[in-house]
Amino acid sequence: MAYDRDDCQAATDWAPVLDFARRLARRRLGRADLAEDVAQETVLRLVEYGRGGAVIDNLYGLAFRIAENLVSEHFRRERRWGQVELSETLASADPAPDRVIEGREAVATLKQALARMPALRRDIIIRRRVRHQSCAAIAADLGLSVKAVEKHVTRGLLDLNQAFDQNGRGRGKVH
């Protein structure tokens, strides 16, 4: 075959992948040190994977899956060892986590945002996130077009993100 694997390897710039994995992990875990570990481990596994002879043509897709797995693995380990609740571990380990998504306060914020949504959008988000229904199945159930369902999901996700960011700024205040 014509391609030279070593050339492909050398051409990979890992900095953006590291940054991506770090950002993702930081948002879930809330701790810079843990997020750094996840990011490093993600890239390490990608490098090893490439060394095994595979040509990586879906770099970000793979990085995403690996980083996600590492984050879940972290939470699983914490639960397995019966540690204190997530929100508390995170809060005590890092007094000012920037917009950590896990934890009790986050659940409350997201519940509020869901409750404020139009009922149809909320229903679609719940079906997609909790019941793992496909957009096509939701469209069939609710008599909508697939495009319309997809639009509700993306709009809903943006609503949730906005609520989350706003709450993040006034962190600690319970109005």
Q: Give residues in contact with another protein (CB under 8 A).
A: 16, 19-20, 23-24, 27-28, 45, 48-49, 52, 54, 57-61, 64, 68-69, 72-73, 75-76, 79-80, 86, 101-103, 106-108, 110-111, 114-115, 119, 122-123, 125-126, 128-135, 137, 150, 153-155, 157-158, 160-161, 164
Instruction: Give min distance, CB of 111 to another protein, in A.
Output: 4
Buried-exposed string 50-69: b where 16+ CB fall within 10 A, e elsewhere: beeeeebeebeebbbebbbe
Whichever of 40 and 161 has its CB closer to another protein, that residue is 161
Q: Contact 90/47 with Cβ under 8 angstroms? A: no
DSSP string, 67-118: HHHHHHHHHHHHHHTTPSPHHHHHHHH-SS-SS--SSHHHHHHHHHHHHHS-
Whichever of 32 and 110 has its CB closer to another protein, that residue is 110
Whichever of 93 and 112 has its CB closer to another protein, that residue is 112
Instruction: Give min distance, CB of 174 to another protein, in A.
Output: 16
Residue matched to tokens 């571990």: 89
Instruction: Give min distance, CB of 87 to another protein, in A.
Output: 9
Whichever of 69 and 89 has its CB closer to another protein, that residue is 69
Q: Which two tokens stand for residue 11?
A: 């051409």
Over its C-alpha atoms, the chain yields an Rg (Å, rounded) of 20
Q: Contact 139/152 with Cβ under 8 angstroms? A: no
CA distance 175 to 173: 6
Instruction: Give min distance, CB of 60 to another protein, in A.
Output: 4
Whichever of 33 and 75 has its CB closer to another protein, that residue is 75
Instruction: Give min distance, CB of 30 to another protein, in A.
Output: 10
Whichever of 131 and 173 has its CB closer to another protein, that residue is 131
Instruction: Give min distance, CB of 7 to another protein, in A.
Output: 18
CA distance 32 to 133: 34
